[in-house]
Chain A
Amino acid sequence: MANKVIEIQDLTFSFNNVPVLSNISIDVERNDFWGIVGPNGGGKTTLLKLILGFLKPGSGLIKILETDPERARTQIGYVPQFGSMDKAFPITVQQVVEMGLTDSKNFFPWGQSKLRCKVNEVLESLKILPLRKKYFGELSGGQQQRVLIARALISDPEILLLDEPTSSIDSSVEGDFFTLLKSLCKEITILLVSHDVAFISSYVNKIACVNNSLVCHASNEITTPELISGLYKDSVTSIHHKCGL
């Protein structure tokens, strides 16, 4: 198996003629745990949507698992930004998680028992098995987040993309959550979008700063308080980059 899981070269994307991302290049290797940080509106979510093939790049190249994003996306587990879901939607935890294994030939309402075992397994591993028959809207923010992670993991994806996963979780659970991701990244490649650099830098092993352009760091480079406060106040490009990009 190739080591390069995601390969992006000179990628440019504009929305209504306003450049959102310019000249982005990044290589993500197998079992990397990337933190993608940057200010709001800097293009972090846009980058994820390009990787998923929901958006087409203006120019440049994106290869996911050595093929184009649309073909590769069934191998991706995706945890969308919190709050993008309709809370009142009538769907059970079981159904949400089953969705992670569905395909275009999934017809008729009746379920398959094979699927139920798999759902139980993944819910058990995330410690939310007792929630299986609950409705998604009844759960707390942290529980909903775990259900969405279960949906992303049930297909045994090669890549896990998470968009601001901790925004709905209170800080006591947040540590648990990252320990969970840390254990997962032994088997899969993780890209995590967050605005909370200080927190994620102790868990991830690489950091990409996205603010129209993209700059990479090893996570141990972002350790001093000055660097971190610099990231928050101004645009992320104001920090000193050692990696020569």
Chain B
Amino acid sequence: MSEFNLNIFSYSFIQYALIAALLSGIAAGIIGTYVVVKRISYISGGIAHAVLGGLGAAYFWNVNPLYGALASAIAAALIIGLVKLKLKQNEDTVISALWAIGMSVGIIFANLTPGYNVDLISFLFGNILMITRDSLWLLVILDIVIVLTTLIFYKQFLYVSFDEEYSMIRGINVDFIYLLLLSLVALTVVILVQTVGLILVIALLTLPSAIAHMFSKSLFRIIIYSILLVTFFSVTGLLISIYLNIPSGASIILTCGIGYISAFSVTILRTKN
């Protein structure tokens, strides 16, 4: 055990993975909180799965897959957002359609691309141990964008999430704020796709914030707790996966899920007493 502890941190890929865990913690903690309090987790799931289309296209045309992910995530966020705002259509149906279409496009592109796409599989289920130095820099930039935007628009995000109508009365551009928030969800998805994979994104985006929400009623504190929780679950899940030699993405989400069920049980027991 002690041998295990001493050695693993000297590998650069382990160091990169730990930095990635922290960087995804910042993004998922902040944006996950808004996803939970504004109840848009289904939208976030749609954005995450639509990303496969962009990834597949990027492989096919031999572009950096992260740019494909970024483009498709933003496009999915804006399409869902605009459909909700302008057409007043049943957004559930639109999200489901985008969810499935995105994945189908991705699978077809992957099939058309010559060679076996081990990387595409890693985007489905994530592989935090394969993160490169370049990807880390992209994560840093995305994190900076997310933190700055949330700071600048903190009050407007708070007000629009709480009461859209009154925000409109006060002259806040509610449509713009909503689309901005969905775009930040898209950026967060792109970060998390690399650590836990697009199928598991939704868990890391919602469960830690839901736990934090059980123990605090302050938006700011929920954000801080969520950042700590995502980072903790990612690091713990990663170490368990190395130790037991199991896939890291699934291990992280399972750790997160156990944390959520425990917290949930604790709150139920507390209210019963």
Contacts and interface: CB of A to CB of B under 8 A. Distances in A.
Interface string A69-103: 00001101010100001101111100110011111
B92 interface: no
Interface of A: 52, 54, 73-74, 76, 78, 80, 85-86, 88-92, 95-96, 99-104, 106-109, 135, 137-138, 151
16 contacts: A74-B171, A76-B169, A78-B166, A80-B163, A90-B213, A90-B219, A91-B219, A100-B170, A101-B170, A102-B155, A102-B170, A104-B156, A108-B151, A108-B154, A108-B155, A109-B151
A106 B220 CA distance: 17
Q: Which 9 pairs of residues, A with B, have the shortest CB-CB distance?
A: A109-B154, A135-B217, A90-B219, A90-B217, A104-B171, A102-B170, A73-B169, A107-B152, A106-B155
Interface of B: 37, 39, 151-156, 158-159, 161-163, 165-173, 213, 216-220, 222
A76 B169 CA distance: 8
Mostly helix, strand, loop or mixed at chain A's interface?
loop
Contacts of A96: 162
A99 B171 CA distance: 11
B27 to A, nearest CB: 18
B217 A106 contact: no
Nearest to A92: B218
B155 to A, nearest CB: 5
Given A86-B162, A90-B216, A90-B218, A52 B37 contact: no
B166 A80 contact: yes
Given A80-B163, A99-B162, A109-B154, 4 more contacts: A89-B37, A89-B161, A96-B162, A108-B151
B163 A99 contact: yes
B158 A95 contact: yes
A54 B172 contact: no
A85 B158 CA distance: 14
A189 to B, nearest CB: 16
Nearest to B157: A109
Contact of B155 (A54, A85, A107): A107
A76 B151 CA distance: 29
A19 B172 CA distance: 30
A99 B174 CA distance: 14
Contacts of B37: 86, 88-90
A232 to B, nearest CB: 29
B157 to A, nearest CB: 10
Contact of B156 (A85, A90, A106): A106
A137 B156 CA distance: 20
Given A90-B217, A90-B219, A91-B219, A52 B152 contact: no
Contacts of A107: 152-156
Contacts of A90: 37, 213, 216-219, 222
Contacts of A99: 159, 162-163, 166-167, 170
Nearest to B156: A106
Contacts of B39: 86
Nearest to B213: A90
